[in-house]
Homo-oligomer: A and B are copies of this chain.
Amino acid sequence: MRDVFQQELAEVQHRLVDIARLVAISMDKATRAFNESDVSLAEEAITEDEKIDELTVELDELAITILARQQPVARDLRIVVSALRISASLERMGDLATHIAQLARYRFPDKVIPKGLRGTFAEMGALDVVIANMLTELLTNQNMQLADKIRHEDDKVDALHLSVFDAVLGETWKGLAADTVDATLASRYHERFADHAVSIAKKVQYLGTGAWHQDDRD
């Protein structure tokens, strides 16, 4: 019974890694669609997210089946509950990638963001992809240094998010209201994406150390 449980936990972990990998691919496609105004890449990002939604529902069902059949306690129980929470965060990350892809599709054939901010959004998108790849690795090998690295990259995303507001609210901003709306939303989506990664990293850390972070769902 114990062996079966360990196998099932390994399966849960394996599926979380697969979903995280798709999240990274989806954000990569969404951010390139956004920056290059590529509507077919936007469609691909949205299709990846549909797959992510399916996989997270299946993973949740597996986790609930494990709870029912194996009735884990203590740390084992917390691993399964954490998997449910991590799955919910990954699902939201996929949604946020889709929102960015939808902005690209909506404005097509125009570019979403005026020239002055394109570098900032390219950087934010690249950071989000790096973060999602780190998350995939963290879920694979539980190397806690990666959790710190994710937090570090998230700080960079937060700084860029603030710089978008500085740009948009600055005197030299020449964008139309539509540009301001797009920049505000896209920046918020990138910031939330990285936040979810930090939240997942804290959960993985918590399982490693047993220390509950009060702010793990920021």
- Tell me the A residues contacting B by CB distance below 8 Å: 53, 56-57, 64, 67-68, 71, 73-74, 77-78, 81, 84-85, 88, 91-92, 165, 168-169, 173, 175, 177-178, 180-181, 184-185, 188, 212, 214, 217
**Which of these, B74, B77, B78, B91, contacts A217 with CB under 8 Å?**
B91
Chain B residues with CB under 8 A of A181: 165, 168-169, 180, 184
Query: Are A73 and B77 in contact, CB atoms less than 8 angstroms apart?
Result: no
A101 to chain B, nearest CB (A): 16
A179 to chain B, nearest CB (A): 9
**Which of these, B56, B78, B180, B214, contacts A177 with CB under 8 Å?**
B180
Query: Are B88 and A67 in contact, CB atoms less than 8 angstroms apart?
Result: no
Query: Are A53 and B214 in contact, CB atoms less than 8 angstroms apart?
Result: yes
Cα distance A56–B214 in the bound complex, in angstroms = 10
One complex includes copies of this chain to the number of 2
Chain B residues with CB under 8 A of A88: 85, 88, 217
Instruction: Give 24 CB contacts A-B under 8 Å.
Output: A53-B214, A53-B217, A64-B77, A64-B81, A67-B67, A67-B81, A68-B73, A68-B74, A68-B77, A71-B71, A81-B84, A84-B85, A85-B88, A88-B217, A168-B181, A169-B178, A169-B181, A173-B177, A175-B177, A177-B180, A180-B184, A181-B184, A184-B184, A184-B185
Cα distance A173–B77 in the bound complex, in angstroms = 54
Chain B residues with CB under 8 A of A67: 67, 77, 81
A217 to chain B, nearest CB (A): 6
Chain B residues with CB under 8 A of A180: 177, 180-181, 184
Cα distance A184–B185 in the bound complex, in angstroms = 7
Chain B residues with CB under 8 A of A84: 81, 84-85
Chain B residues with CB under 8 A of A73: 68
Cα distance A57–B202 in the bound complex, in angstroms = 15
Chain B residues with CB under 8 A of A78: 64
Of A178, A214, A217, most B-chain CB atoms within 10 Å: A217
Nearest B residue to A77 by beta-carbon distance?
Answer: B68
A189 to chain B, nearest CB (A): 10
